[in-house]
Amino acid sequence: MFLTIIVFIITLLILVVSHEFGHFIVAKKFGIKVLEFGFGLPPRIWGKKIGDTLVSLNWLPIGGFVRLFGEDETDKDVLKAKDSFAAQPVWERIGVVVAGVTMNLILAVTLFYIVLSVHNFQEEVPLLTPFNFVGTEQTNQTAIFIGAVSPDSPAAQAGLSAGDQVVAFNGQPINDGQKLIDLTKQYAGEKVALKIEDSSKTTRDVEVTPRVNPPQGQGALGIQLGTITMAKLNYQSFTQRIFSGPVHAYNLTTYSFSILGNLISESIKTKDLAPVSQSVSGPVGLTNLTGTILQTKSPFIPYLNFVALLSLNLAIINILPFPALDGGRLIFLLIEAVTRKKVKPEIEKWVHAIGMILLITLIVLITFSDIKKFF
């Protein structure tokens, strides 16, 4: 568990550093003074001034920030200072604001290129709702996944684990969970061969003997099965491979919004918010998912895919038009660009302050929800 926490904290640092470095480097490019580059959220543990910028390490390892001179400031002298954020042309300020999201998108696309190239530009996505992906050859097929493995069961002794996919039984391809259950009962007491594929797409042959009289509540192998429809995405043409990174990011983004839209629609119809809340994870849930990935036989590529997805989601969340997020700040700048008139600094400061309170409250609620899922 300690290793899982350390790896997740490092993952957050990778995402935060890339995001905030985008803000930092573009701000410096436009001559804006950067007061602080913070890792984590205050209160502060440690800080060291490098040039004009205080580099700080803070207690809450769930984010980071770049504090710019003249940002959220109401003092007129500061607002007019040459190296103030507020004194720069509106399009330069827009560039600073969107730079963080841009860096997260670049990181996500780069990692997707690596993951796809290792998998011969093929990827499988659980199809939770009907969806047509663009820029790729798509085939849909059912697959059998192991949801849980009972301790001391034949499956556990054979090294099977949650997340493994059963692709063949005694040399014959299989994609029907009930058929697999029937076959294990039929061959109870006899050694059978299973072909298993883990999350890194590595296949292995496993020999296991189904039990004749399994304990109550357990099957012959001691596993819980789930049958899922998988969309196999195949980026095979030269053009598809060249653009596979950004196209895959686009596909996953639009697919995620499709799933979220269906969940919200269903929740409104049934007046039950549980499906939506269950689909959202915070630091605790993501730490648990990190641990699951680390337990796989070959975790490196699944981990890179996980970081790519987190970076993509961080970009999407930050560009939403919500106060205190980059998207919220972008709205005020776009208003200024269209009307050629700045929103009063006092109003913008209070709007972002309220937004930050709401965001922190939401993080706390999601964290409690994550904890409740373990009980």
Q: What is the pLDDT of residues 181-226, one digit of tens each?
A: 999 999 999 999 999 998 777 889 999 999 998 888 888 999 998 8
State how far the Cα of 240 lies from the Cα of 246, in Å rounded to an integer.
10
Quick one: 80 and 149 in the same domain?
A: no
3-class SS string, 168-180: EECCEECCCHHHH
Quick one: 75 and 108 in the same domain?
A: yes
Please give the mean pLDDT across all residues of the chain.
Answer: 89
State how far the Cα of 119 lies from the Cα of 202, in Å rounded to an integer.
10
State what percent of residues in the chain have pLDDT above 90: 57
Is 276 a domain residue? no
State how far the Cα of 221 lies from the Cα of 345, in Å rounded to an integer.
65
pLDDT-based confidence at 279, cuts 50/70/90?
A: low
What length does the chain have? 375
Quick one: 176 and 96 in the same domain?
A: no
* Mean pLDDT, rounded, for 62-87: 85
Helix (H), strand (E) at residue 207: strand 203-208
pLDDT-based confidence at 147, cuts 50/70/90?
A: confident
Is 290 a domain residue? no
State how far the Cα of 291 lies from the Cα of 180, in Å rounded to an integer.
28
Q: What is the DSSP letter of 50?
A: E
Is 267 a domain residue? no
State how far the Cα of 97 lies from the Cα of 27, in Å rounded to an integer.
9
Query: Six-digit token pair at 199?
Result: 């999350």
Is 227 a domain residue? yes
Which pLDDT belongs to residue 374?
Answer: 58
Q: What angle do CA 61, 64, 67 make, to 5 degrees?
A: 145
| pLDDT: which is higher, 272 or 300 | 300
Which of 368, 347, 133, 355 lies closest to 232 in space, CA to CA? Answer: 133
Quick one: 226 and 328 in the same domain?
A: no
Residue ending a domain, choose from 232, 258, 280: 232
Positive or negative torsion for Cα 110, 114, 120, 125: negative
State how far the Cα of 137 lies from the Cα of 80, in Å rounded to an integer.
55
Reduce the DSSP state of residue 279 to 3 states and report it: coil
| pLDDT: which is higher, 336 or 73 | 336
State how far the Cα of 122 lies from the Cα of 244, in Å rounded to an integer.
10
State how far the Cα of 21 lies from the Cα of 311, in Å rounded to an integer.
14
Residue ending a domain, choose from 232, 258, 283: 232
313-341 per-residue burial string, b: 16 or more CB within 10 A, e: under 16: bbbbebbeebbbbbbbbbbbbeebeeeee
Is 238 a domain residue? no
pLDDT at 34 > cutoff 60: yes
Quick one: 163 and 104 in the same domain?
A: no
Could you give phi then psi for residue 53, rounded to 5 degrees?
A: -110, 130
Is 13 a domain residue? yes
Is 58 a domain residue? yes
Query: Six-digit token pair at 24?
Result: 């930092």
Highest mean pLDDT among 2-16, 102-116, 290-304: 102-116
Which pLDDT belongs to residue 265?
Answer: 79
State how far the Cα of 254 lies from the Cα of 243, in Å rounded to an integer.
16
Quick one: 12 and 99 in the same domain?
A: yes
**The amino acid at 162:** A
pLDDT at 277 > cutoff 60: no
Range of 43's domain? Answer: 2-115+306-372
* Mean pLDDT, rounded, for 165-181: 92
Residue ending a domain, choose from 232, 257, 291: 232
Domain count, the chain: 2
* 142 and 229 Cβ atoms separated by less than 8 Å: yes
Cβ contacts of 48 within 8 Å, gap of 6 or more: 54, 55
State how far the Cα of 312 lies from the Cα of 78, in Å rounded to an integer.
35
